[in-house]
């Protein structure tokens, strides 16, 4: 199971907000019991929502509570006035004794319904705030991922610069800049060669990507004879210093060709992409 993908799907936030089906709720319960990572993410989300609700809680005004309690404070039966029967001299409609009680029940229902509407409105407000908090969490998570990606790029760049400094600090290291011909018009790479240590490194700034069965191959030319200096890649390798596994003690020039993966014993000059003669 891909835990990071499942955690980032948003189902855990919906679970905390109570916006999942019974099947999804059972699934989250089971997975959180099996995977500590999901349990930890749930705990963090619940804690974040609780803190957000606490910080944004709105306490009902005291006047509202006093008003409702005053309306619900009905007269006690012991204090009701005693109704004495009066002589009836005319046939007139007589008000039922239960009319006052019926009115009281209706009034109580109206007050309770009003209070329920207040609670419902407050619940809707709280739910809206929780949704806002969820969106904020998603935004923060996206920003965090972007920052992490930028940090990784900076780390790669820092490593690249450190490698170049280490090469250039070695006595005898030469830097040979090669540019591409018509087969690689935007080609740009540097060869770091140290005749004393016979070490060769390649730093590719720009070269076309090749099929999986092909590689670039570096050649050193000595008295017109090509000598294999090692193979290297472009594409994903751009921005990194590649050390070649060949010892080169002499070179009058360096050239780059496209060969089959693993290299060739002799260069295919029809696939020559760059060449640079060393100054004497």
CATH number at residue 253: 2.60.40
Flag whether 92 is in a domain: no
The DSSP-derived string for 82-115 is P-------S------TTHHHHHHHHHHHHHHHHH
Flag whether 126 is in a domain: no
> What is the tens place of the pLDDT at every residue in 39-66?
998 899 888 888 877 776 656 666 656 6
Flag whether 250 is in a domain: yes
Report the pLDDT averaged over residues 138-143.
85
> What is the tens place of the pLDDT at every residue in 95-139?
554 555 665 766 677 777 877 888 888 888 888 888 888 888 888
Domain boundary among 13, 40, 55: 55
What's the total number of domains in the chain?
2
Choice among 30-34, 91-95, 169-173 with the minimum mean pLDDT: 91-95
Q: Three-state SS for 186? A: coil
How many angstroms separate the CA atoms of 128 and 147, rounded? Answer: 29
Which of 27-36, 68-77, 115-124, 241-250 has the largest mean confidence?
241-250
Flag whether 109 is in a domain: no
pTM equals 0.48
Flag whether 8 is in a domain: yes
- List the domain range (segments joined by +) for residue 34: 3-55
Flag whether 141 is in a domain: no
Domain boundary among 37, 55, 73: 55
Average pLDDT, the chain: 82
Flag whether 13 is in a domain: yes
Flag whether 148 is in a domain: no
How many angstroms separate the CA atoms of 87 and 28, rounded? Answer: 75
Domain boundary among 21, 40, 55: 55
The one-character DSSP state at 239 is T
- pLDDT for residue 65: 61
């Amino acid at each position: 199971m891909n835990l990071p993908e499942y955690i980032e799907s948003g189902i855990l936030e919906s679970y905390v907000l109570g916006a999942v089906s019974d099947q999804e709720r059972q699934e989250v319960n089971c997975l959180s019991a099996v995977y500590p990572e999901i349990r930890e993410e749930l705990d963090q989300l619940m804690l974040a929502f609780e803190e957000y609700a606490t910080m944004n809680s709105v306490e009902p005004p005291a006047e509202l509570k006093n008003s409702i309690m005053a309306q619900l404070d009905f007269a006690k039966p012991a204090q009701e006035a005693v109704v004495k029967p009066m002589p009836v001299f005319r046939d007139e409609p007589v008000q039922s004794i239960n009319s006052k009680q019926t009115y009281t029940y209706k009034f109580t229902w109206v007050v309770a319904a009003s209070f329920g509407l207040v609670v419902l409105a407050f619940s809707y407000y709280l739910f809206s705030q929780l949704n806002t908090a969820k969106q904020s969490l998603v935004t923060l998570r996206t920003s965090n991922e972007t920052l992490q990606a930028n940090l990784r790029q900076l780390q790669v760049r820092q490593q690249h610069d450190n490698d170049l400094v280490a090469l250039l600090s070695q006595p005898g290291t030469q830097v040979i800049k090669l540019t591409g011909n018509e087969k690689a018009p935007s080609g740009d790479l540097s060869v770091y060669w140290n005749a004393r240590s016979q070490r060769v490194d390649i730093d590719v700034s720009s070269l076309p990507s090749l099929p999986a069965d092909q590689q670039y191959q570096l050649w050193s030319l000595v008295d017109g004879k090509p000598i294999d200096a090692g193979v290297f890649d472009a594409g994903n390798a751009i921005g990194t210093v590649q050390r070649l596994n060949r010892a080169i003690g002499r070179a009058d020039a360096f050239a780059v060709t496209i060969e089959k993966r693993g290299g060739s014993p002799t260069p295919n000059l029809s696939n020559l992409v760059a060449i640079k003669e060393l100054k004497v």
